[in-house]
Each structure stands twice: as C-alpha cells, then as structure tokens.
Structure 1
Amino acid sequence: MPNIVYIATSIDGYIAKPDGGIDWLNEIPNPDGNDYGFGEFMKRIDGILMGRSTYEIVMDFEQWFYSKPVFVLSNTWKELPGKWASKAELIKRHTTDELLETLYAKGINTIYVDGGKTIQTFLAADKIDEMIITRVPIVLGAGIPLFTPDLPELRFEHIATETYHGGLVKSHYLRKR
C-alpha cells in the first residue's frame, strides 16, 4: 500500500512562491500538450490526499483534473468551500496512521500525497514510499520548500530520470527500508 509524492519543484527546491502562488508552473512551454506522465501516474493510484492549502489552490482551477477520489485535510473547515466541493471529501487531520486507516477502510490503498505540509508530515512519520519529483528550470529564491530541515534522514533509491521539453527533469525514487 504505497504512499506516493508526485510534485514539481523549482531547481532551488520550492513548490510554491512565498504567497503560495504556483503561476510559475503555468509558464512552462508545452507546445505538445504533454502531461509529463501524470495520466499514467493517476492510473496507479486509488485516491489523493491533499492539505487544505493545496485544495485552496485547486478550488480556483477552471477544470477539475482528478479522476480519482480526493480527500482534503482540515481541522478548521466544517465543509469544503468552492465550486469543486462536491468532487472531494473533507477529512479531519489525525495522526498519519489514523489517516491511512481511514483511507484504507474506504478502499484507498495507493495514495497520492499532495501538498507541502501534508508531504512533510508523511515524510516525518516515514510514511512515503515513492517520490516522483520534477525539477523546473527556475530559481524562485524563496517560497514554500518541499523539504524542511526538521525532517529525519530517509534513504531513497533512484529508479529513473526523464527529461522533457523546456528543461524539465523528472526523477523517480523508492524508499529504501
């Protein structure tokens, strides 16, 4: 039952600007309309677990990009806001083990873990089994980092690297246990 990160970062390791903005991801030239493997990745997973801040970005998208069940973590919301509220389910934040048990009970066994804080929480609890990280050739200089200094040392094995138009470099890692 793997928990998988699939995310893009700047080459200096940020997943968003200091204000949470990800507009820099939309500036990547993509003349072929490539999904960079996202469609194939989505076939592997049963559901998506994302944090509130990530959902706040997603709820402003013009299109819903997810074909699998989406679960949003928040202790402050009583219900999901926005036009996509019916497309996701609100889950109160608990320990990672409790969250996983809740998702497993719903038949969600292969989980796409998304959102900076959520990923960091799962890394801190050693609950990430794979990471697929795409480096975008931009230096943001500041922002929301994918990794924080308080994370434990975790070893991963490099499985593959692909390069794409525009200088994107996607690397796939498996947790060494």
Structure 2
Amino acid sequence: MATIYYTATTLDGFLATTDNSLAWLFEVPGAEEAESSIPDFMAGVGPMAMGSTTYEWVVEHESLLETPEKWTEWYGDRPTWVFTHRDLPVVEGADIRFTRAPVSEVHAEMVDAAGDKDIWLMGGGDLVGQFADAGLLDKIIATIAPVTLGAGAPLLPRDIRSDRLTLESVTQSGQFAELVYAVS
C-alpha cells in the first residue's frame, strides 16, 4: 500500500490555469493514448483524496450533479475524501466524505479503508504538499504534457529536494512523458 500523487502537469509545472481550467490537457494531440495507463493505475487504487477546487472542477466538467452515474464509471465505489472548509454539492450515490480534519487524521482513515490497495491523491498540489509535509507521500507519478502556461496552480508548491526523490521510471506515451518518483 502506498500513498500516490498521480497527476498530469504542464512542462512548466502547472496543474491548471489561473482560473482552474484543465482544458489545456485535453487539447494535446495524443491525450487519449496518454490516458491509456489510467485503468491499470485505477485497478490498484482504493481510497482517493482531493481538494475542493479539484472536486468542483470534476463535478462541473463531468456534469455530475445531472449525471451522477458518471462518477461510478470513472471512480467506482471508492471512498473519496474531499478536503474543504466550504459546503459543496454532493454527487448522488458516490461515497464522498467531506472533511476539515488534518491530513494525518484522514490518512489514518484512508489506510484503514485501503486494505491492500493504494491511496490516490488526485490534487491539488497544496493538498498533496500537506501530505508530503506530514511524511505521508510515498510516490509521485507526474505525466508531463507538451504545454506551458506561464502561471496557474502549481504541481507541488513545496520545497522537496533531490535527497527525498528517487527516479524510478520514465515512460513516453505519444507527446507525454510519465515520470515516477519515490518520495522518502
């Protein structure tokens, strides 16, 4: 069982534009090919965690309030913790647990729910940074897209030096490069 940050990012290290859009990602030729590894990754995932901005984007982008069945198409019945200090809409039928608790407390609950599966930290970068700060981040899988934004939501707004990161693999998928780092 590992706690993994699995995400796509731009070449200059941004997850989303300044207005929190991920449209840049879907405009890259070959994006479907790069997404082909997602089912294999998801097969090993139990619980998930995301911040409120990520959750709101997914709900809006996929029209999940109108078509909640899409949640299970993508994420199945995995328990998902959403870190927020606001009231957010609930996707009907999804196992979503809104929390204001510190990541260390929630991580313990996620480990209990994981069994032999991994924990997926979907983002955003600051939430993942909180897991890293608490020593609870085991791996980063970053798929680099051939896009630069110049500004936006950073991949991981923390100072994590090379002595804590070990490159495990580099895989090319069309125009994308997937980098896998172990975090110590």
Alignment TM class, shorter chain as reference: 0.7 to 0.9
The correspondence of residues 83-102 of structure 1 with structure 2, limited to 5 A, is 84-102=91-109
Match for 2:179: what amino acid? S
5+ unaligned residues in a row in structure 1: which ranges? none
User: Aligned partners of 1:32 and 1:15: how far apart in 2?
Assistant: 18
> Residue in 2 aligned with 1:161?
170
Task: Work out which of the residue numbers 71, 88, 95 in structure 1 matches 2:81.
Answer: 71
Name the TM-score, length of structure 2 as normaliser: 0.83
Task: Work out which of the residue numbers 149, 152, 155 in structure 2 matches 1:143.
Answer: 152
Question: Quick check: which one's helix share is greater?
Answer: 2
Match for 1:50: what amino acid? M
CA contact (8 A) 1:51 1:72 kept: yes
> Residue in 1 aligned with 2:25?
25
Q: Cα–Cα, structure 1 residues 3 and 19, in superposed 2: closer, same or farther, change >3 Å?
A: same
CA contact (8 A) 2:46 2:113 kept: no
SS of corresponding position for 1:141: coil
SS of corresponding position for 1:157: strand
Deviation at 1:104, TM superposition (A): 2.8
Match for 2:54: what amino acid? T
Matched, 1:37 2:20: no
SS of corresponding position for 2:159: coil
| Count of residues in correspondence between the two structures | 171
Name the TM-score, length of structure 1 as normaliser: 0.86
> Residue in 1 aligned with 2:127?
118
Matched, 1:9 2:9: yes
CA contact (8 A) 2:33 2:173 kept: no
Match for 1:71: what amino acid? W
How far does the alpha carbon of each residue in 1:128-175 deviate from its partner, in whole angstroms, 9 at most, with x for none?
A: 101100000011011010122x5354611111111112x100011112
User: Aligned partners of 1:122 and 1:2: how far apart in 2?
Assistant: 12
User: Aligned partners of 2:31 and 2:2: how far apart in 1?
Assistant: 33
> Residue in 2 aligned with 1:171?
179
Deviation at 1:93, TM superposition (A): 2.2
SS of corresponding position for 2:75: coil
- Comparing 125-134 with 86-95, greater Cα deviation is found at 86-95
CA contact (8 A) 2:50 2:83 kept: yes
SS of corresponding position for 1:135: strand
Q: Cα–Cα, structure 1 residues 144 and 23, in superposed 2: closer, same or farther, change >3 Å?
A: same
Q: Cα–Cα, structure 1 residues 33 and 160, in superposed 2: closer, same or farther, change >3 Å?
A: closer
Deviation at 1:5, TM superposition (A): 0.6
Deviation at 1:28, TM superposition (A): 1.8
CA contact (8 A) 1:93 1:99 kept: no
SS of corresponding position for 1:76: coil
5+ unaligned residues in a row in structure 2: which ranges? 64-69
Q: Alignment identity in percent?
A: 27
Deviation at 1:71, TM superposition (A): 2.1
